[in-house]
Each structure stands twice: as structure tokens, then as C-alpha cells.
Structure 1
Amino acid sequence: MKTTQFNWTKIAAILCIMTCVSDFIVVFLLGNHYLGYSQLKNTMSSLGASISPVSNIISVWWICIGMVFICFGVIFRKTFNGNSKNIKLGALLIIFYGLGEGIGSGLFKADKIDGKMTNSFMMHSLAGGVGVLAALLLPLVLRKAIVTQKKSQFYIFSWIIFAVGLITTILFTFRFSPNEDNFISLYKGLWQRLFMLNLYVYLIVLSVIMYGKKA
């Protein structure tokens, strides 16, 4: 039996939900295998550094989930009105997130030598920055583009996701503060995970809408 576009939509939606949930589980489990690693105080990037005992595993995982999000972005555009400017841009932002925070973070390790950032570290940070910016802008772009029976609720929900994303991004940037002993700088891992949770909630909601969309 030939697989229809509607079936591909459902597959992409389910796969995206599974990936969002699995990412938190994988990071938590791998972090437990890194002696001295703190889920709240250390960034996820440090799991992928060369000195990490789970470096290769997490790098492969990031590349895999990056590919999932790229595929999700492509099918997202086809599922909704692909001719809509905001849908096109939203799909592109999802793809950029997969390329940056996924594939880019997996290919380039956040390594430092004698406390100095390596070229790989710079590329890792650049790729991650592109991914974070794409994730931050996504709800702003899609707040009016996704038409549902509860359009007003989705509009407000998108603004909430953007606001939480912006706040956690600002808190996360405090890790560059000269005083790393203050509460905000110390718990950089917490702010990063809250940002990810916020984004994944949004992607899961988009996936649920996609799954229920009629062909």
C-alpha cells in the first residue's frame, strides 16, 4: 500500500514528540555517567567535550536528533500551507534549529585547551547560537500562521513560549559574567534545560496539531 502524505505527517509528528521526550532522558542518563557532572550547574555542551566519557555518544545523538528536526521542518511546511510566508519561515527556523543545536553541536566539540577556546569550541558556540535564535523566534513567526479551532489560545500560548524562552536565554547568558559564583551564573545548566523544555513543549503542541490535521 502506498504511503500517503497524510501518513508521513503523522509519522513526522510522532517522531518529533518521541525525540523531544527522549532528548531529556538521554541527557540525564549520560550525565549520570560523567563523574562530577551536575545537571543544574553544567551545560549540556560539556557532555560533548572531548574530556567527557560520553562525548562520542552524545555527539552522535545530537546529530541524529538534528536530522529528525530537519525532516520535521520539511514535512511541517508540506503539511501546512507551504505557500504561506510565515509557514515557510517557521519551517526554515525548525531546520536551522536542527542544523545548529543538533548537527552543528554534534560535529564540533566544546573543547578548551588551557582555559582557552579552541576553533571547535567557537564553531560549536556559533552553531548553537544559530539554533537558539531560531528556536526563540519560532513562536513569534507561527503565532498567527497556525490556524486551529482555538486560534486565540494558540496565539497567547505562542507569546508565553516566546517570553519564557527569552527570559531563560537571558539568564543563560549570565554564565559569561565575571562573577561566576552568583546564583544565576552558577545554575546555568538549569536555565538551559528550562529553555529546552519550553521549546520542546511548543514543538510537541505543533506535532499534536500536525497529527490531527486532515489531509
Structure 2
Amino acid sequence: MEKMKTGKTVPFNWVRAAAVMCIITCISDFVVLFVLGSCYQGYSQLRNTISSLGATISPVSKLISAWWILIGIVFVFFGVFFRKAFEKDGRYVKLASLLIVMYGLGEGIGSGLFKADSINGKRTFSFLLHDIVGGIGIIAAVLLPLVMCSVISKEDNSPFYCFSWIVFIIGSITLLCFGIRFPSEAGDLIASCKGLWQRLFLLNLYVYFIAISVIMYNRKIPV
């Protein structure tokens, strides 16, 4: 409970709390990735995937897996209160909320529970599950800006509407660079920088989550 200047108390605002937690998590995740990556000898932020930090052979495997589960919970929490914040803005709010929750469950909790392990160069069943749940989370993240264009229309907020399209385009390009092997020397160069494309995708997404969080925080919502 919070006290107003008049001495009266008001209920804690969970929507604003979720927005602040999302902002802190997005910033913290990048810091954690670079700090733990520096603790893994031979690990390259540009060439190696983020998933390899959580593999069993990684010296920071347990730490990063626990961290992923934690941020997954935060995004699920954020997705639930996102719906509360925008519940009066149409049917697409439920879909956007579901996509955020799917991202938290897939890329966060799922990636933390299932390690990207290989044995004798072959992917394990855990690796397969890691790819499946992570892939579901990534697809949800890519689609989120498109759905948000219906939640916050051009008439409601033109700059954010245009920003949503920019985020979708950048997200799609970085995802293609990360996941598709192009048959050329340039393609080999692109493929060798998987870590770079993955981090650019994440940066693009997190900036978008922060923008949504700021809008959430400033909305007038019954407490």
C-alpha cells in the first residue's frame, strides 16, 4: 500500500510495477550476457550463440539457466498485466498478451530448463526441446509488433505505430541472418556471426519492450 499526501492509502499499482520490472530485466539481461560470456574462455559474443552459454559444458551453465528462468517469469508477469493495462483497446490486446507470455515461456523458462547440449556432434533430445520452445518464443516476439499495430493504431499514436513496423522489419532481417545459410562467401560471413545477429535481434526486441513498458507506466489505469 502507498500513502498519498492526504494521508489516504491506495492499492499497489501492479501494472506500473510490471512495466518497471520489464525495463530493468531488458537492461539487466544484456549486462548478464556479456558478463557471463566473459567468464567462458574462448566464447565469442559475435560468433557463438547465446544458447551455448547454457549448455552443460559451459562454466556458467547453471547461472545462465537460472537467469533465463527468472526473466521468463518476469515476461509472463509482464504479459499478464499488459492485458490489464490495455484491456479497453480491443480484441487484439489478448493476442498481444498471449505472445508476450509465449515469449517468456519459450525463450525464458523453456530455454533455461532445456539445455542446448550435443554429444559427439549430435544434438540431444534436450537440444531439440530447447530449439522448439525457443523457436515458439522467437516467432511470438517477431509477430508482436504486427499485433501491436492493431492495439495502438496509427490514429492513436503515429510514432509508435511506425516504430512497430520498424521493429518488425529489423527483427525479421536479423532473424533471417541468424537462421538462414546463404550459398555464397558473403553467406559464410553472415553465418559466422550468429552471435551478432542474435544479439541485434534481442536488442531490437528489448528496445520495443521498453517502449511498451513506458506507455504502460504512463497510462491511467484503475488501481
In 1, Cα distance between the equivalents of 2:68 and 2:181? 22
**Residue 180 of structure 2: SS of its match in structure 1?**
helix
Judged with a 3 Å threshold, the aligned counterparts in structure 2 of structure 1 residues 28 and 111 are, in CA distance, closer, same or farther, namely same
Equivalences for residues 6-21 of structure 1 within 5 A: 7-21=13-27
Equivalent pair of 1:28/1:39 in contact (CA under 8 Å) = yes
Residue 108 of structure 1 is aligned with which of 110, 114, 123? 114
**Number of the residue aligned with 1:4:** 11
Equivalent pair of 2:153/2:161 in contact (CA under 8 Å) = no
Deviations 1:186-207 (A, max 9, x none): 0000000000000001100000
Q: Residue 67 in 1 paired to residue 39 in 2?
A: no
In 2, Cα distance between the equivalents of 1:143 and 1:161? 11
In 1, Cα distance between the equivalents of 2:101 and 2:123? 27
**Residue 143 of structure 1: SS of its match in structure 2?**
helix
**CA shift for structure 1 position 10:** 1.0
Runs of 4+ in 1 over 4 A off after TM superposition: 147-150, 175-181
Q: Residue 201 in 1 paired to residue 201 in 2?
A: no
In 2, Cα distance between the equivalents of 1:177 and 1:31? 30
**Number of the residue aligned with 1:44:** 50
**CA shift for structure 1 position 149:** 8.2
Q: Residue 126 in 1 paired to residue 132 in 2?
A: yes
Judged with a 3 Å threshold, the aligned counterparts in structure 2 of structure 1 residues 12 and 126 are, in CA distance, closer, same or farther, namely same
Deviations 1:100-152 (A, max 9, x none): 00000000000000000100000000011001000000000011312698611
**CA shift for structure 1 position 175:** 5.8
**CA shift for structure 1 position 153:** 1.2
In 2, Cα distance between the equivalents of 1:187 and 1:88? 36
Q: How many residues align?
A: 214
Deviations 1:161-207 (A, max 9, x none): 00000000000013697989821010000000000000001100000
TM-score, normalised to structure 2's length?
0.90
In 2, Cα distance between the equivalents of 1:201 and 1:95? 17
Instruction: Give the superposed CA RMSD.
Output: 2.2
- AA matched with 1:124: H
Identity of aligned residues (%): 58
In 2, Cα distance between the equivalents of 1:64 and 1:136? 22
**Residue 150 of structure 2: SS of its match in structure 1?**
coil
**CA shift for structure 1 position 83:** 7.2
Deviations 1:30-84 (A, max 9, x none): 0000000000100000000000000000000000000000000000001112672
Equivalent pair of 1:40/1:190 in contact (CA under 8 Å) = yes
In 2, Cα distance between the equivalents of 1:55 and 1:111? 11
Unpaired segments ≥5 residues, structure 2: 2-8
Q: Residue 185 in 1 paired to residue 187 in 2?
A: no
Equivalences for residues 129-168 of structure 1 within 5 A: 129-146=135-152, 151-168=157-174
